[in-house]
Chains A and B, each alone.
Chain A
Amino acid sequence: MVAITPLRSPESGSLQTDKAAALAALESMLAIRSFEEAVDGLFARGLMHGTMHLSIGQEASATGVCAALKETDYITSTHRGHGHCIAKGADLTRMMAELLAKQTGYCRGRGGSMHIADTKTRNLGANGIVAGGIPIAAGAALAQKMRGETNVVVSFFGDGATNEGAFHEALNLAAIWDLPVVFVCENNKYGMSNSTELSMRVEKISDRALAYGIAGETVDGNDVDAVYQAAAVAVARARSGGGPTLLECETYRWKGHSKSDKNLYRTKEEIDEWKAKDPIERFQEIILSSGLVTQSEIETLIAKVREGTRDAIKEASAAPDSDPAELLSSVFREAN
């Protein structure tokens, strides 16, 4: 089993100048890409059941944000959550097992792609309900504050989610209670087929922070270091009692919304334009040309994540299928 190197904050303050942090960030992005390409392939070959939402092209936001977090910080995630899960440190084999409906998966095959949670890495769960995790993140942050803990909660969600009432209620609560939470909007321009131009009149989603009297910022979501820097400021603000931030990461999903998407609402030119802004290639070029890392170091990472994905598929495939005989367990938690 290949363990993905945990993300770390750069001592230099920039992922572009701290070698260990840069390599970890690159490894995380490569692992997300490799895992999701494999998932895409398994679906295409009919070997995977259900549905899934890929974040290929968006790896920098999950990675840059999680690089600014401590192990004890929490996240809430979305239907497009594989990247968040991996960046927070989840085990690829247990993730793959969940997607393959195995007993050894994170949810024992009950949740699938859209519902992975991982108590160990403090991932409070992906969510099948758009914006469902945002109020939950505010509540987890409230708990930190009430208990005098210094942990921060990050809530990931999409541009579409910011049109839900849950987003607005959660931001307002977090604002009035100065909660240690960072709201990270991964603006990939579309909620399914509905573009941000059609779905809102604000120029930037981060402008919505104004309505709640909290800090709002928009960053290039395909620049992992820019995401990290902005997240680090927001996380520090949250941790020191300065309250929430709405951080918008402008990015793009290369693949369709889910497996049924025919991409009728966007052009091939637009997709290609964004592919040219590949967050992984961009970061590789920066750290290669500055001499921070070598080509062979990058190749080693690529080989490592590929092996990690292959192993995950192999181990997960060999695991027992989830068991209908225990379906009635865990509807309720037994009292201790």
Chain B
Amino acid sequence: MTDRIITYSEAIREAIGQAMEADPNVFMLGEDIGIYGGAFGVSGDLYHRFGAERIRDTPISELGIVGAAVGAALVGMKPIVEIQFSDFTAQAMDQIVNQAAKIHFMLGGELSVPMVLRAPSGSGTGAAAQHSQSLEAWFAHVPGLKVVLPSNARDAKGLLLAAIDDPNPVIVLEHKLLYKTSGPVPEQMYRTPIGVADLVREGKDLVIVATGIMVSRSVAAAQQLAAQGIEATVIDPRTLSPLDMTLINDAIAATGRVILVQEAPKHVGFMAEIAARIAEGPALFSLLAPVKRICGMDIPIPYAPQLEKAAVPQLEDIVAGAVELMREP
């Protein structure tokens, strides 16, 4: 394994390039992914390497794009759709929810839709309410869709390659603020299995379960907590559907305290599902204190920087939440 330090964005591009070299059926389609290189620069030079046929610029036509990907996937291609901002999946919801997710089951199991849909998610760029949402719970609620949220460069590459291999529709929600972050990434092709959580950090006092951008924020919080003598485990589920509860349950059994951190609004968010699974399972009897959720406010993402920051969990919120939780009986 030769690890280099590359960005999250480069890791995604490398995965797409390697998958396209390995399999002529893999191609990419989306808005401004060609000569422009993608709204967030993810497709970059792929257009120059693979040409306009396989790095296929589309009109501003999200429903049409996803529909075309579903059709191509049904007859054996492996399309990777880039939706410019995850918010615009709203335009394409029929094809995602009523077509891609249902076809395998509804038609009795013969056809399937090996499509990957990638989209930048989350706030922090000042783009306000229609370009900043964290919509993962929408997708995770639909049987037939797999949903992954890579939180670092290594997983961004490994999960994407696993998603491309997967014979089912996989929604990959990338975080905008992570695109320029760097980390060690192996050069060769590797798959990070879909449906396996990651133990990011180990500590004996409490468990922090976090997704997306909240994973690195929780690790930073854990470092500050360590200075105060509180040792936190950090778990990144990585995949919301299917969900791996084993690590989470084991860690709760070991520590008795758990904080669930997500950027998305709290109400009916994905962490509510994890809380429910904890309540339904053996981990409930290990709890020394109530489950604590630290989530986005139940509001649209605002524009002003101080408002935007206030709307989603920050490092201080996680630290404060952990300290508070440790004071519970």
Contacts and interface: CB of A to CB of B under 8 A. Distances in A.
Q: Decide if A and B are genuine partners.
A: yes
Interface string A161-185: 0000110011011001000000000
A141 interface: yes
Nearest to B97: A129
Interface stretch (A12-20, A48-56, A62-70, A110-118): A110-118
Contacts of A334: 167
A91 B58 CA distance: 38
A335 B166 contact: yes
A129 B98 contact: yes
A135 interface: yes
Contact of A166 (B67, B74, B76, B103): B67
Contact of A332 (B65, B111, B144): B144
A138 B61 contact: no
B203 to A, nearest CB: 34
A125 B61 contact: no
Interface in B8-57: 25, 27, 53-54
B145 to A, nearest CB: 9
A141 B68 CA distance: 9
Interface residues of A, number: 47
Given A132-B98, A143-B76, A125 B68 contact: no
Interface stretch (A81-89, A100-108, A267-275, A308-316): A100-108
Contacts of B112: 333
Interface in B55-72: 58-59, 61, 63-72
A138 B71 contact: yes
Interface string A236-278: 0000000000000000000000000000000000000000000
B95 A110 contact: no
A111 B106 contact: yes
B109 A141 contact: no
B298 interface: no
Interface residues of B, number: 44
B108 A332 contact: no
B29 to A, nearest CB: 8
B67 A169 contact: yes
A70 B61 CA distance: 31
Contacts of A134: 67
Interface in B109-129: 109-112
B243 to A, nearest CB: 13
Contacts of A144: 75
Contact of A119 (B61, B64, B111): B111
Contacts of A330: 104-105, 108-109
A153 B70 CA distance: 14
A119 B107 CA distance: 10
Contacts of B58: 173
Interface of B: 25, 27, 53-54, 58-59, 61, 63-77, 79, 94-95, 98-99, 103-112, 143-144, 146, 165-168
Q: Please list the 9 inter-chain residue pairs (A to B) with the smallest Cβ-Cβ separation, ordered nearest first.
A: A135-B67, A139-B71, A169-B64, A107-B108, A139-B68, A330-B109, A136-B71, A140-B71, A333-B112
